[in-house]
């Protein structure tokens, strides 16, 4: 049996560090808004190369609060990719704005500048790009275009912490970068968690106010905020894991390269990284014209796989009433062909070879 992800293996590797971090919080009895969160914010800011990091309680809240801090709301449109996790589009609606969907670039899981240009309308105020599966978007032309048109650029880096573009950490290039620490992420907590990276101290102050009920003083509330504070146990666990992140991401890159070599000669396709980008392979996602049959075949041989994502956002029932008539051919085609294969730092080379061998066997039998 080869699982899609094995979180127990990671915990066994770091059990002493993680247990000590949790014990430290229990001994301090600071469970919200304490030293661990403050230290994590400083450490993440240094790691990402930004002025400020503001921790929140989920990657979704990271996007919602980012939009609100930038003044995006009712009457505004925000361009988002259709081929992404639903939270990206939902965050726009939760902020009071309207998502405007962009298609993927050909042979890519991500949007490009031409897709964004097609989606722009007269009410567009911001763009959210998603570094999907840990593959950085080609940011330079997008950043230049956003600046020329007075649009905010938000990077959804929920799946891409540690990835780099043109020698910058993703999440540090745009006006704001949003991150998720959901347990399955490359840097995962033991519950929900998120963070927002920015370079403008004024935006950081606004974000800190928004995440804590809009407080200016203990019982003075200047704006309508919410309760979105990262708890101290999660912060301490993330601090214990952060020093290992680059090593884990490098391991993911080696495993992805082994997959790519092993799948040569099959009809499988995958996104090729931009020459300026260093991906982190949160998922290793292939495309196959017989995706469902291949998935069933791998399942019978003990290989866990997953489909990310079977329904593009513009066709989701929650949004179909307003966007269901939109046609985005690349996103719709991807939803029928993508399949995520197992990848995580503790996965062995032998397991990768076993999976690729089964893909070859599947195609031979077909």
Q: Residue 125 CB: number of other CB atoms within 10 A?
A: 18
- Our CA angle for 148, 126, 104, nearest 5°, is 95
Which of 166, 170, 132 has its CA nearest to residue 153? 170
CA 216 to chain centre: 31
Which of 129, 102, 158, 168 has its CA nearest to residue 283? 158
Question: C-alpha distances in angstroms, 241 versus 7, 103, 181, 223, 235?
Answer: 13, 35, 11, 35, 10
Contact 133, 115 (CB under 8 A): no
- Name the catalytic one among 68, 125, 185, 241: 185
CA distance 181 to 53: 14
Spell out the alpha helix ranges (H) of 14-138. 15-28, 35-48, 59-69, 86-94, 113-119
DSSP 212: B
Which of 75, 86, 173 has its CA nearest to residue 124? 75
Pairing of strands 277-278, 164-165: antiparallel
Structure tokens at 113: 């500048």
Is-catalytic flag, 125? no
CA distance 53 to 106: 34
* Catalytically active residues, by annotation: 185
């Amino acid at each position: 049996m080869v699982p899609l992800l094995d979180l127990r293996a990671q915990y066994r590797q770091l059990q002493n560090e993680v247990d000590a971090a949790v014990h430290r919080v229990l001994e301090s009895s600071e469970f919200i808004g304490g030293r661990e969160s403050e230290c994590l914010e400083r450490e993440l800011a240094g790691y990402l190369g930004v002025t400020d990091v503001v921790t929140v309680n989920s990657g979704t809240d990271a996007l919602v609060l980012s939009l609100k801090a930038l003044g995006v709301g009712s009457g505004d449109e925000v361009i988002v990719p259709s081929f992404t996790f639903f939270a990206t589009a939902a965050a726009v609606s939760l902020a009071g704005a309207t998502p405007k969907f962009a298609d993927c670039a050909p042979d890519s899981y991500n949007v490009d500048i031409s897709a964004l240009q097609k989606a722009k309308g007269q009410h567009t105020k911001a763009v959210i790009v998603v570094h999907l599966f840990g593959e950085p978007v080609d940011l330079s032309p997008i950043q230049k275009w956003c600046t020329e048109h007075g649009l905010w650029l938000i990077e959804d880096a929920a799946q891409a912490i540690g990835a780099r573009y043109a020698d910058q950490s993703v999440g540090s290039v745009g006006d704001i970068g949003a991150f998720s620490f959901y347990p399955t992420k490359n840097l995962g907590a033991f519950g929900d968690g998120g963070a927002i990276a920015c370079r403008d101290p004024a935006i950081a102050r606004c974000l800190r106010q928004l995440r804590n009920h809009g407080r200016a003083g203990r019982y003075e509330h200047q704006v309508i905020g919410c309760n979105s504070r990262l708890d101290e146990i999660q912060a301490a666990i993330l601090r214990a894991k952060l020093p290992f992140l680059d090593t884990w991401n490098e391991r993911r890159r080696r495993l992805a390269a082994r997959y790519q070599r092993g799948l040569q000669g099959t009809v499988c396709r995958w996104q090729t990284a931009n020459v300026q980008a260093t991906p982190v392979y949160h998922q290793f996602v292939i495309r196959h014209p017989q995706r469902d049959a291949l998935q069933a075949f791998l399942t019978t041989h003990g290989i866990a796989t997953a489909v990310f994502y079977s329904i593009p956002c513009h066709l989701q029932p929650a949004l179909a009433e307003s966007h269901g008539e939109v046609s985005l051919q690349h996103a719709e085609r991807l939803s029928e062909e993508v399949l995520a294969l197992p990848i995580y730092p503790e996965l062995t080379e032998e397991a990768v070879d076993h999976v690729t061998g089964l893909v070859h066997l599947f195609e031979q039998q077909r």
